[in-house]
Each structure stands twice: as C-alpha cells, then as structure tokens.
Amino acid sequence: MAGQGPTRERVEAAYQALETGDRSRVAEYWAEDMRWLVPGNHQLAGWWEGLDGFLDFMGRVGRLSGGSFVMKREAVLLSGDRSADVSHNVGYRAGADGSPSLYDRLEIDVIHLLRWRDGRVVEGRGAVFGDGTTTFNQFWSQVRADGVRTDG
C-alpha cells in the first residue's frame, strides 16, 4: 500500500486488530516507530513512544478500567495520508461499575487524528469534545471523588 492513503476499511481493520491484542496482527496496521498523544494531564496523558509504548498505554487503559471500555465508532474521515475517526466511549474505573460519579464513570465523544505511512499508522492524537477533557482528567485521576487514592 506504499504511497496510498488509508481507506475507511483499513482504519476499521486497524482498530479491530488492536482489540485482539495480538501483537503481530497489531503490527500490520500500527508502525513500530508510531507515537500516540493522549489528551489531558492525568497519568495516561502525553506522548506514548513506539508500538510498545502504545500497547503499554492500551494495556493500562484495560487494567484501570477493568476491561469495561467500549468504543463505538461513529465516523471515519479521510484525506491523503490522514484519517480521523470519531467515537463515543464509555467505561468504568476498575471496581466501580455502576457508580454515577465522574471520577468513576467516563462517557465522552472523542476524535483521533491518524497519520499513515505505507498502510500503517505512524502517529495518532486524540482530542475530546465538550468538557470531556476535564472529566477525562477526573476519570484517570489517581484519586476518586472522596480523595481515596487508587493504584496508578
């Protein structure tokens, strides 16, 4: 796919590969030298470097949310070597299922802007709509609403 930009199908396939957690399948869509920028200023925020860094990030998301995260993709936009996907994400802090607190339950609309090279993602940056970055910071905070600290 050298020289070609991503298609909607390839974007979908990249995320599906990611969900399998199978590194060799993931590496078909996500470049070894990729980087990923998580919005906010919480424990997961900032640039994750390399495919291993990205997988480390994804693993922490799974662990901190007890595997509860559900991303529902709503749109994929394209242009040249870029794609943007919009999704509605819902999840709970591990052990806090059903809590209505913004420190325990996350519900946000996000957009990821990806840059591709030879069929693989080389850079991704996420951003949250509305005041979702504030609630993102609360959700990933190492404190809960009552100030009790949780493991990072």
Q: Smallest distance from the beta carbon of 132 to its own copies, in angstroms?
A: 8
Q: Does 18 bind its own copies (CB under 8 A)?
A: no
- Shortest approach of its own copies to residue 25 CB, angstroms? 25
Q: Distance (Å, rounded) from C-alpha 15 to C-alpha 17? A: 5
Cα–Cα distances in angstroms (integers) from residue 122 to residues 21, 50, 74, 77, 87, in the given order: 18, 9, 22, 17, 20
Contacts of 134 (CB under 8 A, 6+ apart): none
Q: Which is nearer to its own copies, 24 or 79 (CB)?
A: 79
Q: Quick count: other Cβ atoms within 10 Å of Cβ 71?
A: 16
Contact 108, 132 (CB under 8 A): yes
Among positions 85-114, residues that touch its own copies (CB under 8 A) are: 86, 100, 102, 109-111, 113
Nearest distance from residue 16's CB to its own copies, in Å?
A: 19
Instruction: Tell me which residues touch its own copies (CB under 8 A).
Output: 8, 37, 39-43, 45-48, 75-80, 82-84, 86, 100, 102, 109-111, 113, 125-134, 137-138, 141-145, 147-149, 152
